[in-house]
Amino acid sequence: MKIISKPDITYKVAGSEKKSGLDCLKITFEGTASQYGTGSRQGMELVIDGTSKSKGTAYFAPKSGILVSVESSTTNDTNISGAGEQMFNGTQSVTANSKMVLVK
């Protein structure tokens, strides 16, 4: 499978805060991405087409060049079509939340 994602994300410096004892820039981000691709699995041709929406906050310590923390949520809505002997159409919706924190 080859899947291509084209993101359109906006990043904004929303201020500064102390995180994990470091002076950080608070960076918010939000946007969408389109995803599409084709490929084959076990003799069946597949086509994938979908969109994702993401938003979150990152904390970056510019003096030390360290990414201290990132929290984000993403929702993906995808259509999957199969051709061949077993033709099908399906939809998939996935929501994910993630958190990354610097461990010293």
Rounded CA gap, 85 and 44, in Å? Answer: 7
- In this predicted model, what pLDDT tens digit does every residue of 14-54 receive, in sequence order? 999 999 999 999 999 999 999 999 998 877 889 999 999 99
Query: What is the pLDDT at residue 13?
Result: 97
| Residue 12 near residue 25, CB atoms below 8 Å | no
Q: Report d(CA 6, CA 52) in Å as an integer.
A: 10
Per-residue model confidence (pLDDT) at position 44:
84
Residues ≥6 apart with Cβ < 8 Å to 2? 37, 38, 39
How do residues 66-90 score in pLDDT, each as one tens digit? Answer: 999 999 999 999 999 998 777 899 9
Taking the model in full, what pTM does it have? 0.81
- For residue 91, the number of C-alpha atoms closer than 13 Å in the C-beta half-sphere is 4
